[in-house]
């Protein structure tokens, strides 16, 4: 199959009607973003287009005083702009000459997207401790609304609310990653909502949310912090304030001490809400998700041994060379591209009581991993191993060798020697055992700080964790990186920029839940970055994972295993996976109690797309009509173009104009647990 090109669009003046929800970027959006960014240091704090407040978009208390006032007395240095690969970088430095406190805001702007990214470093350049710094918000921005909505060019309807669109986290619940919308009436004083506030980064909510203003415009916020971030949004007299920081931070800095805050990404949009979210998805794919094999990332068909041999995620320390080697050739034959051995490959059981013992068990793998990795390599399948880089159990030898490296069962990533020790264990597997993929799991406990040092432990640990991952990638740039971290509990801008994909959660094998999770995740993330294991080979079960990375939890040694069916599912997925980075269009609402749920992916650069429609077992409180027929109103297609449409399950095909597809394509699914996969492309 020929390789499919990655998306590359030019900025346009006006979105045509059929692309008004697409990820295409307009010059108006780019100009608004540029104008706002040029006033990041403006002390006048005016409003751009009567919408976005200017001035430093962060805040803190310093000796009890508001940063908005004291920063005016700091020395400000504005660095020169410099470009690298369609990104413009610029630093802003505020220095208090009296105390030595230095605030450095490192920004980058994207030449093809209306977005600004920054990280703030806080450093003590003086000779004594700084005064107390409290409540440092890496983002503190205000948006203004008239309180009225625009309808056909005329403002009407008083007190129209702001809407906050987000997605739940990977908490191992049935509604993992399901979308939600909260409303904040624009004239109610003290009306507020909170997101995050639970360790680690995507445990409670995914750290991405879209603020929709009443005037058909908005702002998407992305947070990059793999610990405990929190966002507070509040409204007073039509003005919405959004604050994002690290939970409970309150600290002094010793001389020469430096920490950083959460990374912030803002994307500004005008028009339709989904237009903003599709721009955000494209931005993440192009500038954050790491390349794979020197090409834009595409999801690989993967196998995790813990889901095989009827493990249902629990075949861990039981795995040995004999069992694992027995399924290598079957999965090569099926068409897998990545094969991972999960927890328990080291000595000791249960597996969680021996974390930090990163030497393979000679009892389980007497010849090491080469007998497994070598045939995989011959079959062009990558080999991966599971690690929990931060976690150390009491039985691990490192507890006796270097107890000072461990705090609360966590390897201290702020200690360079501890990081290097862990890297040595991983690199042995890469250099000597044929390891191609690093699977990251677990998360740390940072320990209580003193009253005037709250947040320091977490900040330094997380910074050290980023250094560990970055060093691993610098030394081994072709390494495949898979994120887990207790399931989908650590997905944020920083992990997205280092890992190729991430497990949804530690809740598996629920097709209806998976359909909803991929619906919610795809509203903000490229469809190639969420991993969902499936143990079913039938269309309904397998296709419920097709909107993410396809991970096989099959048992190919069973006498009744449908090998031909499994091969066909893998081949079909490989044919459609390039579409997952395109525009995402929900075709139904999303909830666990819906009978019908569906969504569409459209590659505007190829004018080609994919639709997945699921008919689910009817719920007593179903919120969508029950019946054998569903009408899918396709979006993004050009009304004047004729498309060849193929219904994969029923085998039907035909030609329709884009206008006809906009008006609804009738789908019939007679089964109470059924699915249809629709592909379309230009007929000529």
Is residue 263 located within the same domain as residue 326? no
Q: Tell me what pLDDT residue 623 has.
A: 62
Q: Look at residue 519 and tell me if it is in a domain.
A: yes
Instruction: State whether 474 and 526 are in the same domain.
Output: yes
Together in a domain, 431 and 471: yes
Percent of the chain whose predicted confidence (pLDDT) is above 70: 95
Whole-prediction pTM:
0.96
- Of 54 and 189, the structure prediction assigns the larger pLDDT to 54
Domain contains 635: yes
Q: How confident is the model at residue 1 (pLDDT cuts 50, 70, 90)?
A: very low
In a domain, 183, yes or no: yes
Tell me how far the alpha carbon of residue 416 is from its chain's centroid: 28
2 within domain boundaries: no
Query: For residue 388, is pLDDT > 50?
Result: yes
Question: Do 343 and 445 reside in the same domain of the chain?
Answer: yes
| pLDDT (average), residues 636-645 | 98
**Tens of pLDDT, residues 193-235:** 999 999 899 999 999 999 999 999 999 999 999 999 999 999 9
| pLDDT value of position 448 | 82
Q: How far apart are CA 149 and CA 257, in angstroms?
A: 49
- If asked whether residues 398 and 523 sit together in one domain, one would say yes
pLDDT digits (tens, 9 = 90+) for 277-332: 999 999 999 999 999 989 999 999 999 999 998 888 889 989 999 999 999 999 99
- What's residue 173's pLDDT? 93
In whole angstroms, give the CA distance from residue 525 to residue 493.
10
pLDDT at 155 over 70: no
Q: What pLDDT, on the 0 to 100 scale, is given for residue 663?
A: 97
Which among 269, 176, 193 has a CA at the least distance from the CA of 487? 176
Q: Which of 287, 319, 346 is the last residue of a domain?
A: 287
Counting beta carbons within 10 angstroms of the beta carbon of residue 498, is it exposed (0 to 12), middle (13 to 18) or buried (19 or more)? buried
Query: Would residue 7 count as lying in a domain?
Result: no
Same domain (yes/no): 438, 335:
yes
pLDDT tens digit sequence for 67-92: 999 999 999 999 999 998 899 999 99
Q: What pairing do the DSSP bridges indicate for beta strands 133-144 and 530-534?
A: unpaired
**Overall domain count for the chain:** 3
Average pLDDT over residues 87-99: 97
Domain that holds residue 471: 302-578
Q: In terms of domains, do 353 and 450 share one? A: yes
110-154 tens-digit pLDDT: 999 999 999 999 999 999 999 999 999 999 999 998 766 655 455
Average pLDDT over all residues of the chain: 94
Angle between helix axes 321-334 and 370-378 (nearest 10 degrees) is 10
Name the 3-class secondary structure at 383: strand
Both 246 and 112 in a single domain?
yes
CATH (domain of 331): 3.20.20.70
Q: Is residue 293 part of a domain?
A: no
Residues 627 and 526 in one domain: no
* CATH assignment at residue 657: 2.60.40.1180
Answer whether residue 9 shows pLDDT above 90: no
pLDDT over threshold 50, residue 672: yes
Per-residue model confidence (pLDDT) at position 251: 96
Same domain, 245 and 172: yes
Tell me what the mean pLDDT of segment 444-449 comes to. Answer: 88
- The pLDDT of residue 8 is 74
Residue 178 lies inside a defined structural domain of this protein: yes
**Domain termination residue (choose one: 515, 550, 578):** 578
Residues 465 and 508 in one domain: yes
Same domain, yes or no: 251 and 342? no
Q: 220: domain CATH number?
A: 2.70.98.60
Residue-wise pLDDT for 248-278, tens only, equals: 899 999 999 999 999 999 999 999 999 999 9
Concatenate the DSSP letters of all residues of 516-545 into one string. HHHHHHHTTS-TTSEEEEE---SHHHHHTT
The answer to whether position 413 is within a domain reads yes
| Residue ending a domain, choose from 548, 578, 608 | 578
At 668, is the pLDDT very low, low, confident or very high (cuts 50, 70, 90)?
A: very high
pLDDT at 158 over 80: no
pLDDT for the residue numbered 297: 95
């Amino acid at each position: 199959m020929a390789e499919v090109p990655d998306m590359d669009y030019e900025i346009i003046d006006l979105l045509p009607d059929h692309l008004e929800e697409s990820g295409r970027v307009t010059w108006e959006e780019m100009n608004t973003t540029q104008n706002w960014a040029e006033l990041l240091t403006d002390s006048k704090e005016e409003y751009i287009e009567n919408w976005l407040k200017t001035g430093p978009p962060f805040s803190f208390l310093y000796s009890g005083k508001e940063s908005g006032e004291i920063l005016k007395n700091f020395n400000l240095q504005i660095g020169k702009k410099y470009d690298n690969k369609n990104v413009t970088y610029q630093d802003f430095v505020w220095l208090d000459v009296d105390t030595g406190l230095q605030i450095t805001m490192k920004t980058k702007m994207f030449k093809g997207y209306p977005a600004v990214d920054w990280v703030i470093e806080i450093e003590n350049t003086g000779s004594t401790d700084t005064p107390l710094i409290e409540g440092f918000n890496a983002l503190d921005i205000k948006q203004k609304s008239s309180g009225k909505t625009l309808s056909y060019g005329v403002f009407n309807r008083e007190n129209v609310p702001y809407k906050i669109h987000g997605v739940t986290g990977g908490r191992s619940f049935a509604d993992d990653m399901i979308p939600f919308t909260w409303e904040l009436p624009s004239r109610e004083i003290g009306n507020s909502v909170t997101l995050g506030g639970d360790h680690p980064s995507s445990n409670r909510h995914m750290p991405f949310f879209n603020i929709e203003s009443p005037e058909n415009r908005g702002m998407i916020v992305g947070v990059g912090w793999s610990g405990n971030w929190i966002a507070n949004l509040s409204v007073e007299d039509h003005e919405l304030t959004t604050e994002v920081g690290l939970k409970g931070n309150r600290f002094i800095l010793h001389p020469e001490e430096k920490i950083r805050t959460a990374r912030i990404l803002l994307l500004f949009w005008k028009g339709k809400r989904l237009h903003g979210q599709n721009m955000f998805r494209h931005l993440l794919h192009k500038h954050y998700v790491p390349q794979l094999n020197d090409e834009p990332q595409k999801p690989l068909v993967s196998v995790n041994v813990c889901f095989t041999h009827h493990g249902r995620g629990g075949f861990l320390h039981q795995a040995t060379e004999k069992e694992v080697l027995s399924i290598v050739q079957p999965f090569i034959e099926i068409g897998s591209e990545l094969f991972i051995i999960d927890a328990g490959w080291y000595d000791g059981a249960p597996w969680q009581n021996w974390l930090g013992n990163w030497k393979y068990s000679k009892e389980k793998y007497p010849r090491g991993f080469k007998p497994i990795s070598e045939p995989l390599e011959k079959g062009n399948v990558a080999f991966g191993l599971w690690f929990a880089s931060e976690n150390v159990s009491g039985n691990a030898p490192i507890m006796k060798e270097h107890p000072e490296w461990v705090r609360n069962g966590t390897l201290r990533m702020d200690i360079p020697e501890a990081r290097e020790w862990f890297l040595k264990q991983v690199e042995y597997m890469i250099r000597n055992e044929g390891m191609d993929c690093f699977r990251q799991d677990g998360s740390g406990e940072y320990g209580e700080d003193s009253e005037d040092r709250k947040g320091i432990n977490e900040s330094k640990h997380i910074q050290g964790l980023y250094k560990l991952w970055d060093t691993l990638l610098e030394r081994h740039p072709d390494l495949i990186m898979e994120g887990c971290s207790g399931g989908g509990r650590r997905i944020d801008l920083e992990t997205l920029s280092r890992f190729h994909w991430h497990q949804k959660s530690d809740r598996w094998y629920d097709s209806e839940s998976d359909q909803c999770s991929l619906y919610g995740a795809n509203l903000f993330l490229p469809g190639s970055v969420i991993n969902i294991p499936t143990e079913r080979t039938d269309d309904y079960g397998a296709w419920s994972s097709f909107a993410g990375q396809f991970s096989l939890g099959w048992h190919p040694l069973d006498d009744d295993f449908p090998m031909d069916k499994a091969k066909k599912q893998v081949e079909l997925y490989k044919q459609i996976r390039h579409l997952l980075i395109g525009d995402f269009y929900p075709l139904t609402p999303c909830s666990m109690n819906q009978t019908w749920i569906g969504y569409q992916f459209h590659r505007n650069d190829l004018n080609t797309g994919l639709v997945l429609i699921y008919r689910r077992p009817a719920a007593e409180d179903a919120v969508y009509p029950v019946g054998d027929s569903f009408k899918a109103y396709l979006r993004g297609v050009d009304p004047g173009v004729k498309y060849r449409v193929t219904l994969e399950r029923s085998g039907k095909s035909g030609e329709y104009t884009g206008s006809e597809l906009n008006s609804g394509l009738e789908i019939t699914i007679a089964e109470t647990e059924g699915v249809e996969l629709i592909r379309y492309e230009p007929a000529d």
